[in-house]
Amino acid sequence: MDDATPTPVPPGYSQLRRGVARFAIPGCAVIHVAGPDAVRFVDAFATAHVAALAHGASSEAMLLDARGQIVALVHVLREGDDVWLVAWPGVESDLAVHLERYHIRERLTVAAVSATWEVRGLAGPQATDWLAAARSPDVRTVPGIDLGAVKTISAAGVWPGGWLLLVPRAAAANLDAACAAAGLVNAAAAAVDAVRIENGYPLPHDIPERALPQELGRDGEAISFTKGCYLGQETVARIDALGHVNRRLVRLASATVLPTGGAEVVAINDDGTRDTVGGVTSAAWSADGGSGIALAMVTTKGLAARERLAVGAERVTPVSGRFP
């Protein structure tokens, strides 16, 4: 967009897009489900196929209620018989209580362990190689990094090359200091958020009440359509059979940074009248895209009017595929 108005590039943005950077994610909910029945139990409530994960493997997943509406979008890690779940700050539902409600005779414990574990982020196209080097016995590669107690969870759907590092709270400060000493850039929250929005990943404030799984557009990352039964599956299967939902979370490109907090997305009719078709939930400036980029929940009817969408006086364009 030639008339785009740039804003200052936040620290760490370039590293997140072209190198590797680290950052903290305070306030995450961390749930540990332990015991011989833990994997089967969590699999009965997650849209992802948790039982099919190998030891040390991870996946996005959604936890649903009985009506198939989203309780939380989470990241799941399997460690043998144990399962770890990480949910983003702002999830109002107590996930431990949600799971414990259905715990009857299964041999397991469900524990909220956010007080003893912290979450760090590592992202960028070089993040996976950096992580492999940090785990290497060759300490000359990344000196002073001890990842022995750190659990790694893929977050490539959130940021390109992204990882969540689940760190014991007692070791978090030492890990931060070692990463800084190794020259790893600490990305600003604005940079982390901008790249997340570019990637189209929603946080809790992007997910409205009574949202359905396919409305988020994360079918490939978070939903298995071949696994066994789980809570809310009937709704997921029905939507899959129908082939569509009535609204979708989409990215919108604009000439400037759009207002958030539910700013109306409208479709402009031929006579100049406007129909409200959605609302903006997150927005940032994309330095690499040279435009504003936003997440918005928009009706299917509104998306059909893609050349006539606006937020206030600003024309916006739905984005599909990679951005930028």
The answer to whether position 198 is within a domain reads no
pLDDT of residue 92: 63
The answer to whether position 234 is within a domain reads no
CATH number at residue 264: 2.40.30.110
pLDDT in tens, 16-61: 999 999 999 999 999 999 999 999 999 999 999 999 999 999 999 9
Exposed e or buried b per residue across 189-210, where buried means at least 16 C-beta atoms within 10 angstroms of its C-beta: ebbbbbbbbbbbbbbbebbeee
- What single-letter DSSP state applies at residue 207? S
Q: Which residues contact 126 (CB under 8 A, 6 or more apart)?
A: 19, 20, 161
pLDDT of residue 309: 97
CATH number at residue 57: 3.30.1360.120
Query: Measured between alpha carbons, how far is 13 from 45 in angstroms, rounded to an integer?
Result: 36
**Does 56 lie in the same domain as 162?**
yes
Give the mean pLDDT of 219-237.
Answer: 96
The answer to whether position 238 is within a domain reads no
Q: What is the average pLDDT score of the chain? A: 93
pLDDT in tens, 137-195: 665 455 667 788 899 999 999 999 999 999 999 999 999 998 998 899 999 999 999 99
DSSP helix/strand/coil, 249: strand
The answer to whether position 200 is within a domain reads no
**Does 167 lie in the same domain as 276?**
no
Give one word for 135, left, alpha or beta, with left for phi > 0 and alpha for psi -120 to 50.
alpha
Phi first, then psi: give them for residue 12, nearest 5 degrees.
Answer: 95, -10
CA angle, residues 174, 176, 181, in degrees to nearest 5: 95
Number of domains in the chain: 2
Structural domain harbouring 110: 13-190
